[in-house]
């Protein structure tokens, strides 16, 4: 890393430098010890958060999901102790599993600001390492689409089962057919509620104007593959487009993701959403409950994936027609879950009509 041009982290509308650190792995420790380096934070701007004056000095409160407490505490409490010592503050953290606020107190305002800034950097870094918990989706599990998907599966297995790697375990669960807009890490009920509230705000701000308060009629037709070599395919997906030829579906998807990224609830991955419905995925071979498409964030060991030869499938089913569907809502879907219909459990949704 060029020390004169360090990487930048945006937190709460402000940009901070990220100092070079040396990370040490503790394979047998549950809690990691991560520290962003001391630096000189005395003159950091403090209007990004509230610092209250008390009888004994100054105080700042930070809302933090309980799964992230351990990253502030560190291995054997070392991170917390170091933060307190170098910023001359006291940091009170709720008990594990208890939702609440981290409270920073100190005699000097600058010390409280320094501690808060470093805690924000720690939280931002470790939040990015968490596996996603929710995702925004359009459900494609209507009966007509499911029926055509099962026909596609049957014909592929009938005509291409002898091709390398092709088996029934590769296919998506028809009850979980969907389009993914983006993934989120929501670690407590407050963050889930924030995402639900933002969905409703988006409806008022731009979704109603784009959709006209009516469902979007979409056609699911044709298949494509994700990687460069069709003979070594990991993900095969169905393409989608608006029946009227407009780009309204793409507009809704792109603007929703843009708004969620701006709110800090979602990380920006692409300039525009790649609308697709995964129909075959080598991840399903290992775990049939895994809903990931390759546009989703999170860790995956590609060394364990056994690719399949998709050349014949692409040739024979290039223009396969899965059907027409009315999309009437965007759902905040919960990963690794199912509702009564077999689709992902819904934490909240934005309805068009």
pLDDT, tens only, 218-270: 999 999 999 889 999 999 999 999 999 999 999 999 999 999 999 999 998 88
Single pTM value for the model:
0.80
Q: Closest Cα partner for 332 from 154, 142, 197?
A: 197
pLDDT at residue 32 in the model:
42
Q: Could you give the percent of the chain with pLDDT greater than 70?
A: 81
pLDDT tens-digit readout, 132-174: 999 999 999 999 999 999 999 999 999 999 999 999 999 999 9
Q: Please compute the mean of the pLDDT values over residues 77-86 and round it to a whole number.
A: 97
| Highest mean pLDDT (candidates 44-48, 222-226, 303-307) | 222-226
Q: Could you give the percent of the chain with pLDDT greater than 90?
A: 77
pLDDT at residue 49 in the model:
80
Measured over the CA atoms of residue 308, residue 313, residue 319 and residue 320, the dihedral's sign is negative
Rounded to 10 deg, the angle between the 248-263 and 189-202 helix axes is: 140
Q: What is the CA radius of gyration of the chain?
A: 24
SS (H, E, C) 61-89: EEEECHHHHHHHHCHHHHHHHHHHHHHCE
Say if residue 24's pLDDT is above 60. no
pLDDT at residue 5 in the model:
60
Reported confidence tier of residue 287, pLDDT bands at 50, 70, 90: low
- Domains delineated in the chain: 51-128 (3.30.1370.10), 134-284+305-351 (3.90.1140.10)
pLDDT at residue 34 in the model:
41
SS (H, E, C) 133-194: CEEEEEECCCHHHHHHHHHHHHHHHHHHCCCCCCCHHHECCHHHCEEEEEEECCCCHHHHHH
Q: Identify which has the larger pLDDT, 299 or 121.
A: 121
DSSP code string of 215-232: PEEEEEEEEEESSS-GGG
pLDDT at residue 299 in the model:
44
Give the mean pLDDT of the chain.
Answer: 87
Q: Residue 55 gets which letter from DSSP?
A: T
pLDDT tens-digit readout, 322-339: 999 999 999 999 999 999
Alpha-carbon distances, residue 164 vs 160, 280, 312 (angstroms): 9, 14, 11
pLDDT tens-digit readout, 181-205: 999 999 999 999 999 999 999 999 9
By the 8 A CB rule, do 329 and 350 touch?
Answer: yes
End-to-end CA distance of the chain: 51
Say if residue 23's pLDDT is above 50. no
């Amino acid at each position: 890393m060029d020390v004169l041009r360090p990487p930048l982290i945006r937190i709460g509308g402000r940009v901070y430098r990220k100092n070079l650190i040396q990370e040490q792995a503790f394979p047998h420790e549950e809690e990691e010890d991560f520290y962003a380096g001391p630096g000189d934070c005395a003159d950091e701007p403090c209007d990004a958060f509230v610092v209250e004056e008390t009888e004994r000095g100054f105080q700042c409160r930070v809302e933090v999901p309980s799964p992230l407490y351990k990253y502030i505490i560190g291995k054997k409490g070392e991170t917390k102790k170091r933060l307190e010592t170098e910023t001359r503050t006291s940091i009170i953290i709720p008990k594990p599993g208890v939702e609440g606020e981290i409270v920073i107190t100190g005699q000097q305002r600058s010390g409280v600001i320094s501690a808060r800034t470093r805690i924000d950097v720690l939280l931002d870094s470790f939040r990015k390492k968490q596996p996603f918990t929710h995702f925004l989706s359009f459900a494609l599990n209507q009966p007509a689409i499911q029926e055509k998907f099962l026909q596609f599966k049957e014909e592929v297995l009938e005509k291409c089962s002898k091709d390398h790697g092709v088996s029934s375990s590769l296919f998506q669960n028809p009850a979980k057919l969907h389009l993914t807009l983006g993934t989120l890490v929501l670690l407590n009920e407050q963050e889930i509620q924030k995402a639900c509230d933002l969905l409703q705000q988006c409806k008022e701000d731009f979704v109603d104007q784009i959709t006209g308060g009516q469902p979007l009629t979409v056609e699911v037709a044709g298949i494509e593959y994700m990687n460069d070599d069709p003979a070594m395919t990991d993900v095969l997906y169905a393409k989608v487009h608006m029946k009227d030829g407009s780009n309204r579906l793409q507009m809704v998807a792109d603007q929703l993701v843009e708004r969620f990224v701006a709110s800090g609830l979602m990380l920006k991955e692409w300039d525009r959403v790649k609308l697709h419905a995964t129909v075959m995925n080598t991840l399903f071979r290992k775990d049939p409950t895994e809903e990931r498409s390759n546009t989703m964030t999170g860790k995956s060991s590609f060394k364990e994936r056994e690719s399949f030869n998709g050349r014949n499938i692409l040739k024979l089913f290039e223009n396969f027609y899965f059907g027409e569907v009315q999309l009437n809502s965007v759902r905040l879907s919960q990963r690794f879950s199912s509702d009564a219909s077999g689709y992902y459990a819904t934490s909240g949704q934005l309805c068009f009509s």
